[in-house]
Structure 1
Amino acid sequence: MDRRDSILKYIAKEQRGIEIGPWFGPLAPKRDGYQCLALDIADTDTLKRRASEDVRRPPEDIDRIEEVDLLGSSTDISELVKRRHQLGTFDYVVSSHNVEHMPNPIRFFQGCGRVLKQGGIISMAVPDRRACFDYFRPLTKLAEWIEASLEERNRPTFAQRFEFDTTFAQYDDGKQSVSSFHCKVQPSMVSAIFNLDTAFQQWLDRRQQKDPPYLDTHCWVFTPASFELLIRDSAYLGLIPFELVEISETAGNEFYVHLRATTSTHTLRPANYEAIRNSILRRVLDEAAVTSALRYDAELESKRAAEPDAQSVDAKHPHDGVEAEPAPVDTRLNVANLRIRQLEEAMAELHASSSWRLTEPLRRIVTHLRRLRASN
């Protein structure tokens, strides 16, 4: 399944939808038969002019720019649709690499809840901080979303821009430097651009301006599990009317999220949410560990250790007369500890599973028969 199919998985052409900021790469364009409105902060003429002024942009990109139907901020989606007297009439909202830019995500989701029919879908592509320039930034917490909502923010804070500027990461493999890569790259090849002095001075200067310009930035930083936690926690608290339908593993530098509009308290506040939440929190830590140099080295050593035949050949017939050296003790300990933790987690999951509980009587009978056989 390609990227477009993954995002549009729960969307049909005959349905009515809205795409947020499609720019020159709409996923559900009218020309392909989609009944989809385009929402953008800039009008059509402005978008086309900007595209034409970008020397890197081929002419065909300009032709792909959709006519803007809803002019304004995505966080005002319900107000924009209300002007058309069409609240509660849409089947889906599509958003690709937008939610991380929104100053007030909770307001956006609340607005989508008013725009969509019951059962309507939000489908999103979201960047994974482990595979882009957000590499060194801390994951967004629910308290930050709530604070932005309570403050009714309509632009990024100076602090968010400062963090964005001072941790902007690039992956350098010795041939080129890129700010978009993939998960599990070698951590030592990722570095942050050093501009502390400049970024701090810009922060001070902007504070002195009466009406500072809007500076777009990644306000929020996610991995799949951390985003799931934000959505589920927000729904549990009644902040947003959406349940999680599906969230994918990261593909390239992004993952795909599908949410469904619902007012079911049973769905939004499941009875076993404490257990669900703890499971997600553990996955958040596991995902964060992917960028750890210690874990990267341990997994690399583990892969080498999984090739005993190759190691034994090298040991018996060392190249150029040089005997192969064993792995450092610290590295071997890291590998062993990692394997122990993996086995402990696997056993915990097994013990918590319904199949383990259901087969418990059978295990008792088998154990009893084994003891009888041993006594005879």
Structure 2
Amino acid sequence: MRAARRARIVGDADLGQGRCLEIGPLANPVVSPEVADVRYVDVVDRSGLVAHYDGNPAVDPDAIPEQHFWLTRPDGTVATLAEAVAADAPYQHVVASHVIEHVPDMVGWLRDVAQVLTWDGALLLAVPDRRYCFDVHRAPATVGQVLQAHLDGDRTPSVRAVLDHFMRAVDYTAEQAWAGEPPPAQGSHPIDDVRRHLARQQAGDYVDCHVWPLTPRGFADLMDDLLVLGEVDFAVERLTATRVGEQEFYATLRRLDRPRAPAEAVEEARAELARLRAELPDESPVATGGDTVPAQQLADVERRLAETRDRLARVRAARDRARRQRDRAVAAAAAAPADRPGVLGRLRRRVRRG
């Protein structure tokens, strides 16, 4: 299962080429030392992660690897990614599974990643789809919010991010979403919890949360806006739909070819992004017989139905060929000389049995 998911995240990238940095592996690294020459970085060191997730049944503390780098300085301030790993950079690949939606400043983070990559390096992303997780009631991230966070120089999630996350999160799984079950109206965090997290944020703590709710098409639109504004140094090389029954989508971002004219590189990146976006399924719900299902799920059912029809057509064609061959054999046997009744009789008996 882990190898299959890693293959979906990595795509065509060869992790054996060059060195790799994985951001926020927690207890489930995508890339192991057996697969690539990898380094790990997180907000705090391993002991800090173990303490933070103590008692969380979803996190096995023994599976958390040692972090080579961490962002939190001894004085409590938070460094950028580029500052934290500067001495070890550059890397051929940066892997970030369920990370980009957490970063306080997406523009600054993407620039940091570009800074620590080789000139032709790639950022490999796994991103939760807000429609199939606890973000289902959240509005999609907008380019205005993303730029505001960058201009404000956010190093920790903002008041807006903390409140939107903790006030709107619900207990909702991908399995429930794909089954067409409506999400619960009741939030999963009592208001006292919301106030506590807000007070921590106001005191300067790093309150981890989903800052940017995303979908595949929403991510494509956001990247296109940022390319137009000249705020990102990446072209989107690969962007997948969320697989039916699952909760995440995948993207490969490649550093822009800066030796070329910047305007030319951006236009080419936008054209490729438009092509990728056009291949994504519609994300609006579709009403069918009184029920509402995701358009992608309907498209997947229709695709499977078309494949079944194609297989049925091939089976019928093979059956018809067999019948024609049988009829020709019978006709040939009937036209055989009369001195071979034994052969004709045996053939007719086989035909009747078949």
TM-score, structure 1 as length reference: 0.65
* Superposed CA offset, 1:183-242 (max 9, x none): 54315x3113248982697289739x8625332111111110111121232123221110
* Superposed CA offset, 1:33-65 (max 9, x none): 4211100112123334556x437368xx44432
Instruction: State the identity as a percent.
Output: 23
Structure 1 residue 132: Cα displacement: 0.3
Q: Is the 8 A contact 1:94 1:124 kept in 2?
A: yes
Q: Residue in 1 aligned with 2:38?
A: 36
* Superposed CA offset, 1:165-200 (max 9, x none): 2322334xxxxxxx443654315x311324898269
Residues 1-376 of structure 1 correspond to what in structure 2 (within 5 A)?
Answer: 2-9=4-11, 10-30=13-33, 32-49=34-51, 53-54=54-55, 56=57, 61-72=60-71, 76-82=80-86, 84=87, 86-87=88-89, 89-171=90-172, 179-181=173-175, 184-187=178-181, 189-194=182-187, 198=191, 202=195, 206=199, 211-251=203-243, 252-262=246-256, 263=258, 264=260, 265=262, 268-270=265-267, 273=270, 280=277, 286-289=282-285, 296=292
Letter in 1 for 2:145: E
Structure 1 residue 76: Cα displacement: 1.0
Q: Is the 8 A contact 1:75 1:102 kept in 2?
A: no
41-50 vs 112-121, which deviates more?
41-50
> Quick one: distance in 2 between partners of 1:233 and 1:92?
24
* Superposed CA offset, 1:235-285 (max 9, x none): 23221110011011113100011110122425642279599769959979x
Q: Is the 8 A contact 1:246 1:258 kept in 2?
A: yes
Secondary structure of 1:100's aligned partner: coil
Pair 292,115 (structure 1): closer, same or farther in 2 beyond 3 Å: farther
Q: Is the 8 A contact 1:44 1:66 kept in 2?
A: yes
TM-score, structure 2 as length reference: 0.69
> Quick one: distance in 2 between partners of 1:22 and 1:221?
20
State the Cα RMSD in Å.
3.9
Pair 245,292 (structure 1): closer, same or farther in 2 beyond 3 Å: farther
CA radius of gyration, larger in: 2
Q: Is the 8 A contact 1:183 1:253 kept in 2?
A: no
> Quick one: distance in 2 between partners of 1:200 and 1:63?
28
* Superposed CA offset, 1:309-345 (max 9, x none): xxxxxxxxxxxxxxxxxxxxxxxxxxxxxxxxxxxxx
